[in-house]
Amino acid sequence: MKIAVCVKHVPEGSARIDPGSKRLDRSGEGALNRFDANAVEEALRLKGESDTEVVVVSMGPEQATDSLRKALAMGADRAVLVSDDAAGGSDLVATSRVLAAALEREGAELVLFGQQASDGDGAVLWAAVAERLRRPVVSQAAALTVEGGSLRVKRQTEFGYDVIEAQLPAVVAVSDAINEPRYPSLKGIMGAKKKPQEILSLGDVGVDASEAGETGSRTTVLALADPPQRGGSQKIEDDGNAAQAIVDFLAEKRLL
Amino acid sequence: MKTLVFLEHHGGELQKGALGVLAKAASLGEVAAVLVGGGVTGLAAEAGSYGATTVHVADDASLEPPLPQPRVDVLATVVRDGGYDTVLFANSVLAADVAAGLAARLEAGLNWDLADLVHQDGDLVGKRPALGDSVYVDVGWRSEPRIALFRAGSFDATPTGGGAPQVETVAVELEPYSQLARIVSQEHEESSGPSIEDADVIVAGGRGLGAPESFALAEELARALGGAVGATRAVVDAGWYPYAAQIGQTGKTVSPKLYVALGISGAIQHKVGMQSSNVIVAINKDPNAPIFEFSDLGVVGDVHEIVPKLTELVQQRKGA
Amino acid sequence: MAVRASDYPPPFAAGEFVAEPTDPVDERIEVGVLIVGAGPAGLACAIRLGRLLADDPATAERLGEVPVALVEKGKQPGSHLLSGAVVNPVGLKRLFGDRYRADEFPSYGAVHGEAVYVLSRRGAVRIPPPPTMRNHGNYVFSLSRLGRWLAEHAEEGGTTILPETAAEKLLVSHGRVVGIRTGDKGRDRDGGEMGNFEPGADLVAKVTVLAEGTQGHLTGVAIDRFGLAGAEPQVWELGVKEVWKVEQPLRDVIHTMGWPLRRATKYREFGGSFLYPMGDDMLTIGMVVGLDYRDVELSAHDLLQELKTHPKVRKLLAGGERVAWGAKTIPSGGFNSLPTRLYAPGLLLCGDGVGLVNIPRLKGVHYAIESGRLAAEAAFAALRPGGTPGQSLAGYDEAVRNGFIGHDLYEVRDMRQVFGRGFVVGGALASAMTATKGKVSVGKLAAEPDAEAPLLRSSRAAAYPAPDGTLTFDKLSSVFASGNKTRDDQPNHIRVAQRVPREVAELWAHMCPAQVYEVGDDDGDGTVTVRLAPSNCVQCGAITAKGGRLTPPEGGSGPEYTLT
């Protein structure tokens, strides 16, 4: 079997939005999105001692190879990065197009995603990618097993758990409750450098430059603004009636 | 503007979040809704009182399991046939997957995690809080249809007083790949209480509680409010409460509708984990505690005095 | 009798951290040269070795699949680097030869002008810079950024860098250092193995270079194990600094003396502040204070906050924003505190770890780089076919002592004690010593370890400014600004006596810039319990100077500096 894990290189430390481009500033140091480490771990867990191949796939600037190397150090076998200046600023529609093209090339039976990007930049990509790949998708997987030609997921929703079965090939987004990602071992870190890493252009995956980046996007960032002030912040001293004052406040806010 | 709102339902009830988005859409112009499921036609009428003039209903046993892809098939058909230029969703595990699938199917722009939607200079503009809500980003669409996914709790589900909607039945043929997943079983038991990630209400305790025993105050208040209990790093470090309940930079990040902070000073490490809560109420005896700078209601006082009374008043009110 | 922190030693024995290799032979990771610490010394060593081995394939061949490996406890190279830093570029120039011009190194530009002020609460008197503090020809750097840049060169040159890896134990076999053992990962607070537990590993090397920086954990262990302690005990200063985005560019390199430190000699408050420009839109401001101070309420963190309220400083920061914060100790014992030898069988010691810092000149980065470079030469000579390891490693010691490092440090060998006599007298003596190249000596003053300073208490803390979140900050906000997001549920890495007199607990609570220590409950027998929040720790090392002992936490913990 082949498992592809989609990972993202996210800015480290105090992220900022560049006022000029209105994009998240990705010039600083970055790291593997911590939620994606759950997806890598799950792939490695499914692989176990078998001959399953785990490929990590990413799209982003060339520094994203740092994140891919981390996944390789954890135990993934190979990495693919689509890195192209023309892909910068891609929105969901454009990103899913490029990523789906890269995944088509891999033809993995199972595609895994983490539950969200820690830079706040999205938590929906898998469904768009699955649509483009015309494959079943299950998100919020808190447990995952693969048997024969199908998989079984315990999906966590607002209402409890659903057990879902889907046929392979499929796309699954795992929740961060599914596992505790392993630490790369020293041998893993030392071996990561030697594992195959491919850097592809848009042309390599067969996507026209006009179909990616800002020109290929259907949404746009118009402006940045300060958040609205917390409405009417008030501070009172307890004179013995504070409990009642809180209840009145909650009632007024329709929180009771 | 021709708007369509996705009506999510569970246990024979329309979801409040979806009705809130519907009411919001009605305030911006004419709005229709789409309802997908098995045996759901009866729910359509209620959408009228939240402003839907038309409800498209796809009612079929095959649509009963809450899976996203068959819903993408339904919505794609409704949007194309009805000529809708805007499709709105209230965020949920299901709705997010439907919205993103629909965006890819229709090559449509999707803006997510929106807190509001406004008309601005003739354009529709979404407001997206970013970077821990420290900045608001105005987002737009370059083409139609426009798809938007709203943060939970963005809008109140207030009836608009509309009449009975026109119900239109949708016949849909599902894509083969939309039928490759199936729900085997569901466990929707009512647990002892919500987890802190899912809770609408969180009552969190800090060092100001004074002693581990005092966490009972937080637990009782949380029970009365139907919420979960959270804790600061300091008290988790001190062994007063389990790490699983830790909220903050190195714990969980939460955004409930109501966050009640008991004896929490509000260090930045805690703030980054809870600052996007809708309403923050803080009780602390130190009038200079930083938490008061980002609370909606700050009470300077002793948690041991106030919280038992508060719990009792909440219980009375809920009982009444 | 005055209370001294040294009377309450930590539960620590260096022997705990010396071990024979334990991994089965076929599981050991064998490397040629192992370097501990991705700072200027370790990275210079790696870069130089890369060049030497590239030119000598025969020796490279002997070193196996991984000729040079470097372990770094921080998240990445640079994460734990912090310095002023006005750097003398000579170290970089000698390391890179003609590959780069001085202005091609990743600095924030050459020093244009400089000023020294003696401050009072509101006033400032400009004085001519003492000869030791003239910086013409030097450059302002962020050491963290320089570290990342050097790490790229080291990797390009073939060094395998292993970040997030703590060097926990020194592997010694038959009296010879044979590598290190890395720390375990994935232990819970009580030391139990978590689901993702990853045990440490033996990294076995032909030569091990410890370039751990100030308060180096294994450097201390090695000095103990091989009996290398110098003539006088090492002493330290604590530096706390911030980086600010500012509206108006700062032009000059500024140093200050005096306020907010107190002049009265009984307090022993030796130190000062610095303000350096970082390009047109940033500056760095820092406060340094000798850790031989006596007042339990002294807090370097809060002295820096107080400094920023001085009218002259406040003006420079107006409209600006703090973008980074950090803290670190600086070894200040100088020549008299150097270890007797900078080597042991299989081992070389470099940089700040052994105290290669010139305190009167406020410089150490070029010594670190130069010592790393010399260590590379020595290790290479030892490993060449037909090389004589013992002689080669001893040659490193000679090269350091006979080169500019040794000369510079000798020249200012008594200056630390001189400043202990107060700035005005000390300044005159310092000038005389410098002018005569060290021929004028004031005679040795007995140095005592920082932890032996008899404690006293004034009500200093009451005067620290209340944090306003714009100009002045509380310690936890500062820890946040250091990028520290250490996993909380890991074992405590800080060794201190748990029950101590209140004065000692207060000393640590005020001293620590990262709010690790808290004065806990009164034990009823004249002592209090010390409470710890180890995940706040930014590994500055002050606790080791002042009566405790820092050991490395799980790799990847601690600050994540990028601008300091």
C537 and C494 in contact (C-beta within 8 Å)?
A: yes
DSSP codes joined into one string, B176-226: GGGGSEEEEEEE----SS--TTT-SEEEEE-GGG-SGGGHHHHHHHHHHHT
Q: How far apart are the first and last CA of chain C?
A: 41
Count of other CB atoms within 10 angstroms of residue A236: 15
Nearest-by-Cβ selection for C562 from A28, A180, A189: A28
Q: Which chain C residue is nearest to residue A13, measuring alpha carbons?
A: C483
DSSP run (H or E) holding C154: helix C143-156
What is the nearest CA distance from B186 to chain A, expressed in angstroms? 4
Helix (H, G, I), strand (E, B) or coil at C70: strand
Cα angle: B290, vertex B292, B294; to 5 degrees: 90
Q: How do the residues of chain C divide into helix, strand and coil, expressed in percent and rounded to 5? A: 35, 25, 45
Mean pLDDT over all residues of chain B? 92
Identity of the amino acid at C440: V
pLDDT at C420 over 80: no
pLDDT at C445 over 80: no
Distance CA A79, CA A60 (A): 13
B180 and A135 in contact (C-beta within 8 Å)?
A: yes
Nearest-by-Cβ selection for C560 from A12, A184, A185: A12
Max intra-chain CA distance, chain C:
68
- List the strands of the sheet with B166-169, edge to edge: B109-114, B146-150, B86-90, B3-7, B31-37, B52-59, B166-169
Summarize pLDDT for B121-142 with one digit per residue, the tens: 889 999 998 876 778 899 999 9
pTM: 0.90
**Contacts B142 to A, Cβ<8 Å:** 217-220
Nearest to C182 by CA among C196, C193, C169, C164: C169
Task: Identify the chains in contact with A, defined as 3+ C-beta pairs within 8 A.
Answer: B, C
Nearest-by-Cβ selection for B233 from C469, C474, C488: C488
Summarize pLDDT for B171-199 with one digit per residue, the tens: 889 999 999 999 999 887 655 567 787 78
Distance CA C130, CA B110 (A): 64
What is the nearest CA distance from C480 to chain B, expressed in angstroms? 7
Query: Could you identify the residue written with the tokens 């985005």?
Result: C245
Judged by a CB distance cut-off of 8 A, whether residue A28 touches chain C is yes
Distance CA C514, CA C481 (A): 11
Task: Look at residue B197 in the predicted model and tell me its pLDDT.
Answer: 79
Cβ pairs A/C, distance under 8 A: 42
DSSP codes joined into one string, chain A: -EEEEEE-EEE-SS--B-TTT-SB--SS-EEE-HHHHHHHHHHHHHHTTS--EEEEEEES-GGGHHHHHHHHHHT--EEEEE--GGGTT--HHHHHHHHHHHHHHHT-SEEEE-S--TTS--S-HHHHHHHHHT--EEEEEEEEEEETTEEEEEEEETTEEEEEEEESSEEEEE-TTS--PPPPPHHHHHHHTTS-EEEE-TGGGT--GGGSTTTT-SEEEEEEEPPPPPTT-EEEE-SS-HHHHHHHHHHHTT--
What is the nearest CA distance from C150 to chain A, expressed in angstroms? 15
Portion of chain B with pLDDT greater than 70, in percent: 98
User: Is C165 in Cβ contact with A190 (below 8 Å)?
Assistant: no
Q: Which residues of B265-285 are buried (b: 16+ CB within 10 A; e: fewer)?
A: bbbbbbbbbbbbbbbbbbbbb
Asked if the bond preceding B33 is cis, omega within 30° of 0, the reply is: no
Summarize pLDDT for C239-259 with one digit per residue, the tens: 999 999 999 999 999 999 999
Nearest-by-Cβ selection for C562 from A29, A184, A186: A29
The interface residues of chain A toward chain C in range 219-238, judged by CB-CB distance below 8 A, are none
Distance CA C69, CA C204 (A): 10
What is the nearest CA distance from B290 to chain C, expressed in angstroms? 9
**Contacts C489 to B, Cβ<8 Å:** 243
- Among the residue ranges B31-35, B245-249, B261-265, the one predicted with the least confidence is B245-249
Over residues B37-47, the mean pLDDT reads 95
Q: Which chain A residue is nearest to residue C71, measuring alpha carbons?
A: A186
User: Is C483 in Cβ contact with A186 (below 8 Å)?
Assistant: no
User: Is B269 in Cβ contact with C488 (below 8 Å)?
Assistant: no
Task: Look at residue A224 in the predicted model and tell me its pLDDT.
Answer: 85
What is the nearest CA distance from A76 to chain B, expressed in angstroms? 27
Identity of the amino acid at B44: A
Over residues C423-429, the mean pLDDT reads 47
Summarize pLDDT for A118-166 with one digit per residue, the tens: 876 677 999 999 999 999 999 999 999 999 899 999 998 888 889 999 9
Q: Which chain B residue is nearest to residue C478, measuring alpha carbons?
A: B268
**Contacts A141 to B, Cβ<8 Å:** none
Summarize pLDDT for B94-120 with one digit per residue, the tens: 999 999 999 999 999 999 999 999 998
**Contacts B269 to C, Cβ<8 Å:** 476, 479-480
Contacts 24+ apart (CB under 8 A), B279-288: B279/A253, B279/A255, B280/A230, B281/A246, B281/A249, B281/A250, B283/A242, B283/A246, B283/B307, B284/B208, B285/B208, B286/B208, B287/A235, B287/A237, B288/C466
Q: Tens digit of pLDDT per residue, chain A (256 long)?
A: 999 999 999 887 655 666 666 666 656 678 899 999 999 999 999 999 999 999 999 999 999 999 999 999 999 999 999 999 999 999 999 999 999 999 999 999 999 999 988 876 677 999 999 999 999 999 999 999 999 899 999 998 888 889 999 999 999 999 988 999 999 999 999 999 899 999 999 999 999 999 999 999 999 999 888 777 666 688 999 999 999 999 999 999 888 8
What is the nearest CA distance from A127 to chain B, expressed in angstroms? 5
CB under 8 Å to C257, separation ≥6 — which residues? C116, C117, C118, C119, C272, C423
Judged by a CB distance cut-off of 8 A, whether residue A163 touches chain B is yes
What are residue C187's DSSP bridge partners?
Answer: C193
Nearest-by-Cβ selection for A182 from C29, C66, C198: C198
**What angle, 0 to 180 degrees and rounded to 10, lies between the N-to-C axes of helices A125-133 and B68-82?**
80
Using pLDDT thresholds of 50, 70 and 90, give the confidence band for residue C417. Answer: low
Task: Look at residue C424 in the predicted model and tell me its pLDDT.
Answer: 44
Portion of chain C with pLDDT greater than 90, in percent: 87
Nearest-by-Cβ selection for C485 from B234, B249, B288: B249
Query: Could you identify the residue written with the tokens 């409800």?
Result: B55
Q: Which chain A residue is nearest to residue B9, measuring alpha carbons?
A: A159
Task: Look at residue C425 in the predicted model and tell me its pLDDT.
Answer: 43
Residue ranges of chain B whose CB lies within 8 Å of a chain C CB: 233-234, 236-238, 243, 246, 249-251, 267-269, 272, 288, 290, 293
- List the strands of the sheet with A219-225, edge to edge: A219-225, B135-141, B123-130, B116-120
User: Is A223 in Cβ contact with B138 (below 8 Å)?
Assistant: yes
Summarize pLDDT for C189-203 with one digit per residue, the tens: 999 999 999 999 999
Q: Which chain B residue is nearest to residue A240, measuring alpha carbons?
A: B306
Using pLDDT thresholds of 50, 70 and 90, give the confidence band for residue C442. Answer: very low
Judged by a CB distance cut-off of 8 A, whether residue A193 touches chain C is yes
**Contacts C533 to B, Cβ<8 Å:** 233-234, 237
What is the nearest CA distance from B47 to chain A, expressed in angstroms? 21
Over residues C65-81, the mean pLDDT reads 96
Nearest-by-Cβ selection for C162 from A28, A181, A189: A189
What interface predicted TM-score (ipTM) does this complex get?
0.91
pLDDT at B6 over 90: yes
Task: Identify the chains in contact with C, defined as 3+ C-beta pairs within 8 A.
Answer: A, B
pLDDT at C421 over 60: no
Q: How many CA atoms does the CB half-sphere of C231 hold within 13 Å? A: 8
User: Is A14 in Cβ contact with C162 (below 8 Å)?
Assistant: no
The interface residues of chain A toward chain B in range 89-118, judged by CB-CB distance below 8 A, are 91-93, 96
**Contacts A186 to C, Cβ<8 Å:** 29, 162, 165, 182, 201, 203
User: Is B237 in Cβ contact with C488 (below 8 Å)?
Assistant: yes
As given in the structure block, the two tokens for residue C76 are 């990445």
Q: Which chain A residue is nearest to residue C78, measuring alpha carbons?
A: A29
Over residues C362-374, the mean pLDDT reads 97
User: Is B10 in Cβ contact with A159 (below 8 Å)?
Assistant: yes
Count of other CB atoms within 10 angstroms of residue A161: 18
Nearest-by-Cβ selection for C485 from B237, B250, B288: B250
Task: Look at residue A175 in the predicted model and tell me its pLDDT.
Answer: 92
pLDDT at C6 over 90: yes
A129 and A171 in contact (C-beta within 8 Å)?
A: yes
As given in the structure block, the two tokens for residue C514 are 């990262």
